[in-house]
């Protein structure tokens, strides 16, 4: 199908964009890479009367370090830019982001799709949304009243719904600290499809042993969620299998055409254990797990 008519506006600067959005009201939509929005418009699932193209705001296409080892990613940075970022920009501390990009669509999607667009779109199974929630990212939004910083855990309200106001523009996401022992994994019927369930594990490893960590799940709730029950197992020195079992027990996933609740719970168990193992790879804790598994 073809999209419904709309009026096209090209952004010139961040503040002008928020002013324009405020004037246009609820019927306007921001377009960045458009890899979700244009598909929805082609199907007329979305029919915005006004489209504000923020691609000209090149200052939002940036990737760099911030204070305390933080990583700052401008909203217009593409998945492909992250995927191909040199070590100097995206050191070992954030290699998890580079590796996770392979799960997002396919190459021609990743060359256009943006980090900020994915977060603002707020798909419950999107990789960036899950990474942001699990790794404790902060989202920076500019509105008519200025800038505010929103913890990722408070940003998502439900499927395709976030706390962003109609006149607010997501400009940046900040990952506050390196996550050198983290991994994302997921399951979809075909590579590149939306995940049925996705998992991120970020381990705290000291002196070769796991001291704790964060466990996040996508596809089990209307928004990406942390799983405190599974994190408690890691903090108490439990095995990865026990952590995965706790995550599966705590998860209350929906059942739909893509999989029943029981199927999703089984996926949670498999994926959390796999993410733990991948996160620990190359460390003494990871080697111990590998030996245990091979025995």
Which residues make up the interface to other proteins (CB under 8 A)? 1-12, 16, 20, 23-24, 27, 31, 34-35, 38-39, 41-43, 49-51, 53, 55, 80, 84, 102, 105-109, 111-112, 191-192
17: left (phi over 0), alpha (psi -120 to 50) or beta: alpha
Shortest distance in whole angstroms from residue 244 CB to other proteins? 27
For other proteins, the closer CB: 110 or 264: 110
219: left (phi over 0), alpha (psi -120 to 50) or beta: left
Shortest distance in whole angstroms from residue 212 CB to other proteins? 34
Shortest distance in whole angstroms from residue 7 CB to other proteins? 5
Shortest distance in whole angstroms from residue 103 CB to other proteins? 11
For other proteins, the closer CB: 149 or 191: 191
The stretches of 93-183 forming alpha helices (DSSP H) are: 95-100, 107-110, 115-121, 127-134, 152-155
For other proteins, the closer CB: 42 or 287: 42
Q: Are 227 and 216 in contact (CB under 8 A)?
A: yes
Nearest Cα to 129, choosing from 87, 207, 184, 202? 184
For other proteins, the closer CB: 42 or 260: 42
Name residue 35's beta-bridge partners: none
For other proteins, the closer CB: 12 or 15: 12
**Chain length of the chain:** 295
Shortest distance in whole angstroms from residue 30 CB to other proteins? 13
Count Cα neighbours of 178 within 13 Å in the Cβ-side half-sphere. Answer: 15
Name residue 75's beta-bridge partners: none
């Amino acid at each position: 199908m073809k999209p419904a008519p709309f009026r096209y506006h090209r952004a010139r600067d961040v503040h002008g964009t928020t002013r324009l959005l405020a004037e246009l009201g609820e019927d306007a939509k921001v377009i960045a890479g458009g890899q979700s929005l244009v598909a929805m418009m082609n199907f007329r699932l979305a029919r915005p009367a006004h489209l504000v193209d923020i691609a000209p705001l090149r200052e939002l296409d940036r990737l760099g370090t911030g204070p305390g080892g933080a990583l700052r990613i401008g909203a217009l940075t593409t998945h492909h830019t992250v995927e191909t970022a040199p070590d100097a920009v995206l050191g070992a501390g954030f290699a998890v982001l580079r590796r996770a990009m392979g799960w997002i669509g396919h190459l021609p999607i990743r060359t256009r799709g943006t980090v900020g667009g994915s977060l603002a779109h707020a798909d419950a199974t999107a990789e960036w949304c899950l990474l942001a929630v699990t790794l404790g990212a902060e989202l920076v939004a500019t509105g008519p009243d200025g800038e505010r910083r929103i913890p990722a855990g408070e940003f998502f309200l439900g499927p395709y719904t976030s706390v962003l106001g109609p006149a607010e523009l997501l400009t940046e996401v900040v990952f506050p600290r390196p996550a050198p022992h983290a991994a994302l994994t997921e399951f979809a019927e075909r590579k590149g499809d939306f995940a049925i369930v996705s998992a991120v594990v970020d381990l705290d490893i000291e002196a070769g042993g796991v001291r704790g960590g964060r466990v996040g799940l996508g596809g089990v709730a209307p928004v990406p969620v942390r799983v405190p029950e599974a994190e408690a197992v890691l903090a108490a020195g439990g095995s990865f299998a026990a952590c995965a079992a706790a995550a599966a027990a705590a998860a209350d996933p929906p059942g739909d055409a893509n999989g029943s609740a029981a199927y999703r719970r089984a996926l949670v168990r498999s994926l959390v254990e796999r993410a733990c193992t991948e996160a620990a790879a190359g460390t003494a804790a990871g080697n111990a797990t590998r030996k245990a598994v091979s025995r």
